[in-house]
Chain A
């Protein structure tokens, strides 16, 4: 550890820490533009000046470039350093437009903050400003080059961190241009991060420009629901409309960034097609009336067809509490089949994947970023889990070798195999075709060819596909990973086998045991697999095949195949306009994830809480004067008579005669009750062991 003094405060930091980070560690902010924790230093902006009063280095220095050393005495408030920072800001502002009131970045702009903090308030330069033409960068990002202060964060992120090749820094000296060679949509699936990392307003989210200022937003820590990785986000809403999504730092998971799918898929929450009105046989009713009707209907149905005739369908996109309550509903009824997965394959594969993960061997995105060898097995990262591709790139940049086994057709070079089409909801950018993976890798025939012995931190990333399962079996025999879950009870996924198979890792630690990451299907697929195991869930396709199911009630479920006509959809609870909602006798509109609190368990088994961001209800934008302001008194906003699925199920259970309905996070899930939304999350088997 290194000991130094900053503004009279003794600071201790690990070797390799910069003076700027050392100051941050004791909450002394130093202005910085080019330095970024994920991008490192560039020394380009000169705004982080401090004065070194004593120690190995003297005088005014750039704190982002200077590694902390023993005996340093640093002042951030020294006159000379302050004067330097003030001048630097003045020169950075020389070409900058003085029009914050009409800039969409205003209020969430580092340049504003540091200009004020640096003490530059009055403009002295009255010469001509350097100006640029802006480019069309696609439908998601607006370009305003005049606001640029040449910190190079954007081009460093885009090319170095994310591996994009169509955007960069052109020109030199007083004329540096950050853009594309020609107008056109940015090609990187991580392009939206430019909005977050540019310290000024050069890049703003085009989908929500000039809709609100920073202080107007409803914001809360949340989790991305668009794949199984559970990247941390801050959704921003106003007037019941989800406007933007930004990345939220979680060093174990997504680091500082998110993918474009996670950032630009906000429209579904606001769409007029969304079910917001409870219906019974197509007639609008209140949510309470709908639940009354469903309770009666359910009783009659079970009486008529018997207890085996009902399927209670949950979903991997529904939060944990909703799925727990679906399972409890089945228990209470003593009837019906619990279906949390659509088809048998998916259920089986997810169950197996989850059973293989332990606290020790489950790889987080951070484990992937710091791996020295990565093996890809039957997965299409850019389609199924984009941020995982970015994590692999970071490992590759630090020298990790990357191998692909049992290549997914989409991984094959162009022309070989067929590209599986992206589903329409995932095609986030017009004209954007999925590009190549942002790292180099080698095909390898089998896992036996992977030079694992020479590595220290290997990670295997596996898709939950048939190919993945096949390869898993090979992995199992190659590495003697236990393939079946031993033990039982609780939510433990730890593996206890009576006769542990001979593992090459047991003997003298010749090889490090590889960590595993699975790409699952849905933000709460892990949670559903665990629940399915606890409650003997059956995949819907298997339940239907059996022929006894006559009707279903579904909660936020998407069906891959059309439900046979003979099956009655007694009720569907959802916030998405699915086929099931269209067919349901009773429609129960639910909150979207941003309108409720909840928990998703991500692909590594990390339970993460998300908070309620906004109140549900029809977005005010788009409402005609007849509808807004509302003419009827009520406590809910128009379209706001909705509830989280877990709550709906609890209310239903009350109506069905349950005297006391336990809250979802009880029993084996009790320990998640106090999960902190801003923490790292909790690996569920870790919690069990603690």
Chain B
């Protein structure tokens, strides 16, 4: 069950939209903030709020890579693996971070602190290699800078 206040907020968001579907991303993000990731329960909640079927929410949820359909750590690091960042050493960056964190791309550290995800273009090509944590973009970053940025986020949580 989601708190009444959140439900009302989301209902208002849907009511403002011309078609409910266009509010889907905001609704999924709102629910994700609440649950930590978009749980099966959250998919069902979103479907009810949006007047869609759970499958239709699933279609959208699995399309957007900032919507997490599996549990994630407290800090989620998106490392761009698209072509511009790749040309600027994005691959090396990702390898380094895997080593530092002791996890493979896609996994979460044992203390549940950090999830490392390769992602598609962040629109930050001029500053490759780039990464993103929450709503903040970083780039260009060296492996050392990236490690420091992640460490900083880890502490602040």
Contacts and interface: CB of A to CB of B under 8 A. Distances in A.
A168 B55 contact: yes
A301 to B, nearest CB: 61
Interface stretch (B12-20, B29-37, B58-66, B143-151): B58-66
A117 interface: no
Interface string A555-592: 00000000000000000000000000000000000000
B59 to A, nearest CB: 5
A171 B56 contact: no
A173 B62 CA distance: 11
Nearest to A169: B59
A654 interface: no
Nearest to B58: A181
B69 to A, nearest CB: 10
A167 B55 contact: yes
Contacts of A166: 53, 55
A165 B21 CA distance: 14
Given A168-B59, A181-B58, A173 B53 contact: no
A123 interface: no
B120 A180 contact: no
A172 B55 contact: no
Contacts of B75: none
Contact of A181 (B55, B63, B65, B120): B55
B63 A171 contact: yes
B39 to A, nearest CB: 14
A170 interface: yes
Interface in A163-189: 165-173, 177, 180-181
Nearest to A173: B120
B54 interface: yes
Contacts of B122: none
Contacts of B52: 165
Interface in A442-488: none
Contacts of A180: 55
Nearest to A175: B62
Contacts of B65: 172
A165 B53 contact: yes
A172 B56 contact: no
B56 A165 contact: yes
B53 A171 contact: no
A171 B55 CA distance: 12
Contacts of B54: 181
A168 B63 CA distance: 12
Nearest to A187: B53
Nearest to A168: B59
Nearest to A170: B62
A170 B59 CA distance: 4
Contacts of B43: 181
A186 to B, nearest CB: 11
Interface in B98-125: 120
A568 to B, nearest CB: 56
Nearest to B61: A170
B63 A172 contact: yes
A631 to B, nearest CB: 56
A165 B62 contact: no
A167 B56 CA distance: 8
A168 B56 contact: yes
Interface centre among B53, B63, B65 (most CB of A within 10 A): B53
Contacts of B58: 168, 170, 181
B68 to A, nearest CB: 14
Interface in B40-81: 43, 52-56, 58-59, 62-63, 65
A181 B58 CA distance: 7
B89 to A, nearest CB: 22
A173 B55 CA distance: 18
A165 B55 contact: yes
Contacts of A173: 120
A180 B52 CA distance: 14
A172 B59 CA distance: 9
Contact of B62 (A159, A167, A171): A171
Contacts of A170: 55, 58-59, 62-63
A177 B61 CA distance: 13
A172 B58 CA distance: 12
Top 3 closest pairs, chain A to chain B, by CB: A165-B53, A181-B55, A170-B62
29 contacts: A159-B56, A165-B52, A165-B53, A165-B55, A165-B56, A166-B53, A166-B55, A167-B55, A168-B55, A168-B56, A168-B58, A168-B59, A169-B59, A170-B55, A170-B58, A170-B59, A170-B63, A171-B62, A171-B63, A172-B62, A172-B63, A172-B65, A173-B120, A177-B62, A180-B55, A181-B43, A181-B54, A181-B55, A181-B58
Interface of B: 43, 52-56, 58-59, 62-63, 65, 120
Given A165-B53, A165-B56, 9 more contacts: A159-B56, A166-B53, A166-B55, A168-B55, A168-B56, A170-B59, A177-B62, A180-B55, A181-B58
Interface of A: 159, 165-173, 177, 180-181
